[in-house]
Structure 1
Amino acid sequence: MASMASTASSFEHSNSGFQMGVNTGSVTYHVHMPAEEKKEMNTRSCDQSQAHYIIPAMANRHFTGRESTLNELKQKLFIQASTEKLALFGLGGIGKTQVALQLAYWVKANVPDCSIFWAPALSLETFEQACWQIAKEFQIPRKPDESAMELIRRHLSSDKAGKWLFIVDNADDIDLLFDELHQYFPTGGQNGVTLLTTRSREVAELFAETDTVQLKEMTAEEGIEFLAKIIGKDSLCSRESATQLLEELKLLPLAIVQAACYIRRNNGTTIRYLELMHKTQKDRMRLASRDFRDITRYRETRNAVTATWLISFDQIKSSDPPAAGLLEFMSYLEPKAIPRSLLPTLDSEEEMDFAIGTLCGYGFLTRRDNSDQDIFDIHSLVQLSTRVWIAEAQKTQEIITTVTQHMDKCFPSDEYTNRATWRIYLPHALGILSREENKDLSERYSLHSKVGECILADGRVKEAVAAFKEVCVWKEASYDEEHPSRLMSEYILASAYRSNGQNKKSIELLEHVVAVERILDKEDPSRLASQHELARAYQSNGQTKQAVELIKHVVTIFERTLDEGHPDLLRSQHTLAVAYRFNGQIKQAVEILEHVVAVRERTLDEEHPDRLVSQYELAVAYRFNGQIKQAVEILEHVVAVRERTLDEEHPDRLASQFELAVAYRFNGQIKQAVEISEHVLAVSERTLDEEHPSRLASQHELAVAYQFNGQIKQAVELLEHVVTIRERTLDEEHPDRLASQYELAGAYRFNGQIKKAVEISEHVLAVSERTLDEEHPNRLASQFELAMSYQSNGQTKQAVELLELVVAVEEITLDEEHPKRILAQKALKDAKKRLIDVENTENRLS
């Protein structure tokens, strides 16, 4: 081998020979011999001092790139000459044969005293035929009863053969290779090297141990150049479309050639081919299955991407049936980030390891190295091909049923500790739920419910509503009206409706469920859960009194039947506290929430959603109670945790940021309030419908912050928009509608539009006095705002009368240092002073 290394660096070219086509069955070889030997080749053995070449006539004029792989092969086999045998392995269709050919041409040009022999190992027959051809053309003396394979092994293992490179191509069948062929491979010693190409990593390592080279997909630049060579630059349309097509084809050379041949045959373009790929799954499968002529591949080899991998699939089915089963299962998952925990279990962990190793060995599956758990990617074209084979075997329904049932069995609940698991399972579950073949399976709808609950917990409310609606439709067709499973699906859909701001639909469904469940015992958990959810819907819809009445009933029963720390009791107490706050019973709300928070902080992790939501609600109650600093402190903690654990668009994260902005405003931190409010609104406008309550609330709050920041015109513009939508979508008495009208009146007042301010304030107060108790904060706030408008409009006497009423109530209901009480007292004092000044002026004039 040392002498081979020295000649490899000389880069001498021999021009004294000629090439002659030799047809060996289905493979045409180029046989190169010295010119002076041509006349004597039938009468004597070849001169062993001369190099000879038998190389397939499959030269590819479109061959592109692969420089790093070729250089590695040259280094190991000829320049460093560090091994006698080397294996080149990689996915079927990735170009191993073409790389081996390029190496052969390089050796022929740069190592002129090295003979090259090529033997395909597609079958025992093709290998033996190649050996016969070598023996025949070079008239190697044969012993009696000696086979061609024995003859070649003996000859190349001797010093007479000189220097040689023996290429064994397509050695994919492990049984054929090591039971039949391997015994005939020559040993080179100092003279020869054997290069074996195979799809199987296992075959490569058994043959060459650590002396293996993996051929990977082309680079993007190589792919562009390769595609352009075949179809011409005009058909590329644009680099963008070509790049997108190559990404779809995973830069697999065989797939690129297949697409290029299709484009060239139909006078098409890369854009049109992409359109067909994306049109339907059937179109994509047909494109991948289209065979085409390719003179650079063996004639008996089918060229379609789906067909070339069928060989590997059949070998896997024969040697490792569990691996074939896993491949079929994974063909209906998403190709990226498949967790091992999602795969069906085999008889043992060892069998699972072995099966996964088989799929990885063939390049069908790759393990992610940077993951702290077993995560795999499946080649998307392999996945598509597997679906084609499954369809041809008429097993599509069977496999999809298996995947759906298994997915339903292993998909986790929406408990927050499962969040990491459900997030990695979700793409795969959504993929199988998109299939029509499982529409009659009960497991499909069970899985749909689990998926809906998890995406709802992740803040993907619209998707959750769609999932729950599908479940409801199926259960309505499958069960009687009173069936618990049907009622449960309606209950869940109603909860999602409320989260999506569709309060009326939520109430309609829940009132139906509660009515049907009247046949149940009053303390039945299902009945109480439905009543609890209906109370929340009432609250969201502004029906505060109904909400308080209903949730007090639920809490009373739970307090009698459940332990103090029971989640259902705490949840109902939390809901009652929220209803109390909306009903103006702030002290009661604070008292209950302090209890709930204390229990949850003692029993739940810091990041638990229930603990965070109770802390959030306590902060809101503190703000209403004038405990602004405590509110800010709690909200800063809640926001910090949620920004660490939730996506930017998650409703809970936005809600806590929104409330922190409000608390900052009340605390005089106006710039921070504006900054946060602008962020919340930007996300809301990007993710929510124009009429969604949360989006409107964020616009409302930003307008108020603008007003405090002196940006009155912006405040008026935003509030007019909010009021217009809320007047169109909400009842006249809805708290949110009244709140936006109230704030618009204040903005008008600050903007000098006093008459409009008075008009709106009088309307808000009239509704508040009709619907709210005398001590309700919102009623008091509307009285205060009208008094300010009256004062600005010169109606000082009416202003004093209203402010006296406000102060009298707040001195009874609020602490002495409450900001609202202090503000009202000051306003009354100023109004009285102004009234005296007005009266004195009038007396002087009279």
Structure 2
Amino acid sequence: MKKQAESGSVESATTTAVWPVLKDCQREITRLQNILDKTVPSVGDSSWERRKKAFLSLGKDKEVEEIADSLSRYVRVLTLHQALEGSKPDSQAPPKYEPARPRYFTLVPFDRNAHFVDREDVFKQIDDSFRVRKGSQPKVALFGLGGIGKSQIALEYCFRRKEKDPECSVFWVHAATIARFEETYKRIATECGIIAQEEEAQVDATMLVQNWLENRHEGRWLMVVDNIDDTEVFFKEPMTNQKTVSQCIPRTWKGSLLFTTRSRDIAIDLILPAKPIPVPVLTKSEGAELLRSRLPGNHSEEHIIELLEELEYIPLAITQAAAFMSKRRRTIPQYLDLYRKSDSARVRMLSYEFSDHGRQYNSMESVAKTWTISFESIRRGNPRAADLLSLMCYFDRHAVPATLLTGEDEDELDFEDAVAVLCAFSLIESDEAGTSFDMHNLVQLATKLWLIDENKGEEDKWAFEALKSLARNFPAPLHHTTPEYWQLGRDFLPHAQLILAHPFKTQRDQIELARATLLFSVSRYLHWRGAVMDAKVKNEESLKIRERILGEKHLDTLRSMSQLAWMYPWISMEQEGVDLGQRCLELRREVLGPEHPETLDGLSDLAMAYQMQGRLLVSEEMQRQAYEASQRVNGPEHLDTLNCLSHLASVLDDLGRYKEAEAELRKVIRIKSRVLGEENSSILSEMHNLAFTLEHQGRHKESEEVYRQVLALKTKIYGKTHVETVTTLVNLVLLLQDQKKYFDIQELSGWFSGEAELVQENENPRLRQAMRTLRRFSFRPPGDVASESSDSGYSDDEGGEELAAVAEEKEDLKRGENPNKILEVA
């Protein structure tokens, strides 16, 4: 009406009469809207807010009736004037006039980013995706981790599109919240002349803009819909016009839509059946370019790459670091020194706020704040996903097994849904099978900060959950290893080492006992790997915790005690092993009885300690007692029984009763092969010891054949660099040296070349000696054989000296230091 009056299409008398009525109508409508806002519950209201509004509605009935009566009178007046105006001839209406408006618009709230780093691959994908069949609407969705550069890419694309196509209108719409979306649409409506500014409160700008772009806009247009990160906000929650945001996105072949979101799932929903475009981290050259543009000066390439790797090539993190260094006048090395001091230092620096180009509201930003938005969105939409993210903070960020993340009675589909949410937000990455997950280091740190800031006291809660999961799932100690044991140990060890080092703020008995359980299991695994010193330290800590909380006679305490007694002789602590083993055996006899399987196991272990101490006759007697009792209790083909017999054979070998030792070993191998299969890892120790016994009898050819068979099987099961494989390799090399088979030795030395350093020899003195022996054979054979090759690295004298040293070491090994006597007999 006001427009008509201003343009002259309504007579002045009519305007004078009607205009006050219209103003009164508007006032009464505003009164009514205020009452409704305060008393009518909305979809997102809490139960407290609903009760409050119900209480406020009391006594408002009379006021509402008065407003309704007033509006009814005004409507009758307006109807009368409309009838009178309609009865006048058309010739009396003056011609309609509208002010001239531009045909093409550019409504982007940011200027061009002068520091933008070209990401041609993404732009090419956008252009390719916008090429659709005639009559279809071009749509693209960019998705990726918060701070990865989605909005910056969209902003740059707007300017490039305008340069290529000046007649294309460009609009930027904020979609993080309903209020921001409606505010943006109102701006488009007023800037493009769809409504007058004073009419914003009286009309539905969202529907008018949608209709205008779909039906009345002249020419092509591009709309960026930025930050669609909440499914509820975009697809489900109603706006003031009771429609959702998604329902008000214009759909027409004349306009292109470019969406940005952190969630891959939302991106898929936005543009099905087309594929969304993932925004990756920066390449090395892109990251260097961004840092140099943000941090002028002379910086070495080495320092730049070092910083980029620490920040994982994430644009927002790089920009934040550059802002910090600029303000604090720090060099890159100084920044890295500060950043690497501790997790708390890194967390503080991730929280450092700075002003970033093109961020919403022009507010101060930080990496931590940016990702907090994702965390909160996830917690609202899928609390289980937020719990998983919290739990993953306390594991190593690489290759977290799904086994460690699932609850004991968790529904498989619930777990998959939660994981899918985290993957969709690019906070974690899954392997193809969905059995292992990786997490960005910066995301892990930011999540910890979020837990500290938003969930006071929950750091220990989730660290304890991680500890319990590992204590429950880490493979329990075994007398003989299996491929499954090795695989689980490899998968879980990095996570176990990390949580065992976690500084819990509270030292509750529950936490300490869970640590003791994990220490006990990790200790045995490390021992099998050859890291015997680390294994000893962890087992001693486990025993100390269990003795303090559970007492000396508790079964768990006795298990830690027994395992430690078993370990001591392996690190030349034979007497300590005997003393502790004797004490453990006495307690087990008291608590469990003399013929309990665990008591018999302790008896066999004590016999081994005596064997390593050199008290062979005592050891033989005790092993025979353990073997005979195990036959009665467990049965003649039980693995514990066969282990006792294998240990007895080892004692017989040390006593020089090689034929007896051979017979017992062949019996063990025969039964285990029938029960477990010929390639079971449990048989490999007996086969290795059989080869050793054959060598002692001078049956070198048979011994070599068995060694080679064992070496092939261990390589297949454990790999070349495992301590078990190395032990057999060294013994085979020594046997070949006795036979002067130098070319065979050279072949084996080359077979192992370049991988020996991977073995944990520094943790195992005897293994270190074995590796030193092996490395002495990394030369061409001496004498006439060596002279046939011009590649020989040693003269005859040098070769002779090497062999003399090897022969001396071999005698040391055979006098009781041979790795197989330590590593294979267990």
Q: What is the TM-score with the length of structure 2 in the denominator? A: 0.76
Write the deviation string for residues 650-705 of structure 1: whole angstroms up to 9, x where unpaired: 22111111222233344552432466479889948974359923433565688899
Q: SS at 1:471's partner residue? A: helix
- Aligned pair in 2 of structure 1 residues 136, 692: CA closer, same or farther (>3 Å)? same
Instruction: Measure how far apart 1:601 and its partner are.
Output: 1.3
Which of residues 292, 301, 304 is equivalent to 1:242?
Answer: 304
Q: Which position in structure 2 is the counterpart of 1:139?
A: 193
Which of residues 395, 404, 410 is equivalent to 2:467?
Answer: 404
Instruction: Measure how far apart 1:364 and its partner are.
Output: 1.3
Q: SS at 1:299's partner residue? A: helix
Moved more, 422-431 or 339-348: 339-348
Counterpart amino acid of 1:712?
Answer: G
CA distance in 2, matches of 1:578, 1:288: 59
Q: Which position in structure 2 is the counterpart of 1:334?
A: 396
Q: Which position in structure 1 is the counterpart of 2:724?
A: 652
Q: Which position in structure 2 is the counterpart of 1:117?
A: 171
Which of residues 607, 632, 643 is equivalent to 2:715?
Answer: 643
Matched, 1:66 2:119: yes
Counterpart amino acid of 1:105?
Answer: F
- Aligned pair in 2 of structure 1 residues 65, 508: CA closer, same or farther (>3 Å)? farther
Counterpart amino acid of 2:800?
Answer: I
Q: Which position in structure 2 is the counterpart of 1:490?
A: 561
Unaligned runs of 5+ in 2: 1-96, 784-798, 820-826
Counterpart amino acid of 1:631?
Answer: S
- Aligned pair in 2 of structure 1 residues 58, 458: CA closer, same or farther (>3 Å)? farther
Matched, 1:76 2:138: no
Instruction: Measure how far apart 1:625 and its partner are.
Output: 1.9
Q: Which position in structure 2 is the counterpart of 1:735?
A: 815
Q: Which position in structure 2 is the counterpart of 1:551?
A: 623
Instruction: Measure how far apart 1:45 and its partner are.
Output: 4.4
Which of residues 159, 163, 167 is equivalent to 2:220?
Answer: 163
Q: Which position in structure 2 is the counterpart of 1:610?
A: 682
Identity, % of aligned pairs? 27
| Contact in 1 for aligned 2:745/2:777 (Cα 8 Å) | no
Q: Which position in structure 1 is the counterpart of 2:666?
A: 594
Write the deviation string for residues 485-509 of structure 1: whole angstroms up to 9, x where unpaired: 3232122123233344544443343
Matched, 1:627 2:707: no
Write the deviation string for residues 191-243 of structure 1: whole angstroms up to 9, x where unpaired: 21122211122222222213322212111211111111111242x4x323322
Counterpart amino acid of 1:422?
Answer: G
Matched, 1:55 2:122: no
Matched, 1:263 2:343: no
Q: Which position in structure 1 is the counterpart of 2:278?
A: 214
In angstroms, what is the RMSD of aligned CA positions?
A: 3.2
- Aligned pair in 2 of structure 1 residues 216, 473: CA closer, same or farther (>3 Å)? same
Instruction: Measure how far apart 1:641 and its partner are.
Output: 0.9
CA distance in 2, matches of 1:495, 1:102: 67
Q: SS at 2:157's partner residue? A: helix
CA distance in 2, matches of 1:738, 1:454: 21
Matched, 1:152 2:227: no
- Alignment size in residue pairs: 684
- Aligned pair in 2 of structure 1 residues 702, 268: CA closer, same or farther (>3 Å)? closer
Which of residues 426, 445, 461 is equivalent to 2:493?
Answer: 426
Counterpart amino acid of 2:413?
Answer: E
- Mapping 1:654-673, distance limit 5 Å: 654-673=726-745
CA distance in 1, matches of 2:220, 2:767: 79
- Mapping 1:256-295, distance limit 5 Å: 256-295=318-357
Matched, 1:385 2:446: yes
CA distance in 2, matches of 1:261, 1:554: 71
Q: Which position in structure 2 is the counterpart of 1:174?
A: 231
Instruction: Measure how far apart 1:115 and its partner are.
Output: 0.8
Instruction: Measure how far apart 1:119 and its partner are.
Output: 1.6
Write the deviation string for residues 389-432 of structure 1: whole angstroms up to 9, x where unpaired: 11122211111122222222233335513332332222222222
CA distance in 1, matches of 2:305, 2:619: 58
Q: Which position in structure 2 is the counterpart of 1:6?
A: none
Instruction: Measure how far apart 1:473 and its partner are.
Output: 2.2
Q: Which position in structure 2 is the counterpart of 1:21?
A: none
- Aligned pair in 2 of structure 1 residues 267, 78: CA closer, same or farther (>3 Å)? farther
| Contact in 2 for aligned 1:654/1:680 (Cα 8 Å) | no
Matched, 1:693 2:750: no
Which of residues 419, 422, 426 is equivalent to 1:359?
Answer: 422
- Aligned pair in 2 of structure 1 residues 691, 137: CA closer, same or farther (>3 Å)? closer
Instruction: Measure how far apart 1:190 and its partner are.
Output: 3.5
Moved more, 688-697 or 333-342: 688-697
- Aligned pair in 2 of structure 1 residues 677, 512: CA closer, same or farther (>3 Å)? farther
Q: SS at 2:361's partner residue? A: coil
- Aligned pair in 2 of structure 1 residues 56, 629: CA closer, same or farther (>3 Å)? same
Q: What is the TM-score with the length of structure 1 in the denominator? A: 0.75
Write the deviation string for residues 275-327 of structure 1: whole angstroms up to 9, x where unpaired: 22321111111111111122431236551111111112111111111111111
- Mapping 1:677-692, distance limit 5 Å: 683=756, 687-689=760-762, 692=765
Q: SS at 2:223's partner residue? A: strand
Matched, 1:573 2:645: yes
CA distance in 1, matches of 2:661, 2:310: 57
Which of residues 566, 577, 583 is equivalent to 1:512?
Answer: 583
CA distance in 2, matches of 1:566, 1:425: 29
- Aligned pair in 2 of structure 1 residues 177, 680: CA closer, same or farther (>3 Å)? closer
The structure whose RCO (Cα within 8 Å, separation 6+) is larger is: 2
Which of residues 560, 563, 568 is equivalent to 2:635?
Answer: 563
Counterpart amino acid of 1:492?
Answer: Q
Moved more, 588-597 or 433-442: 433-442
Matched, 1:87 2:141: yes
CA distance in 1, matches of 2:778, 2:252: 85
- Aligned pair in 2 of structure 1 residues 240, 340: CA closer, same or farther (>3 Å)? same
- Aligned pair in 2 of structure 1 residues 314, 680: CA closer, same or farther (>3 Å)? closer
Q: Which position in structure 1 is the counterpart of 2:291?
A: 227
Instruction: Measure how far apart 1:471 and its partner are.
Output: 0.7
| Contact in 2 for aligned 1:629/1:667 (Cα 8 Å) | no
Counterpart amino acid of 1:620?
Answer: F
CA distance in 2, matches of 1:183, 1:479: 61
| Contact in 2 for aligned 1:706/1:714 (Cα 8 Å) | no
Counterpart amino acid of 1:651?
Answer: V
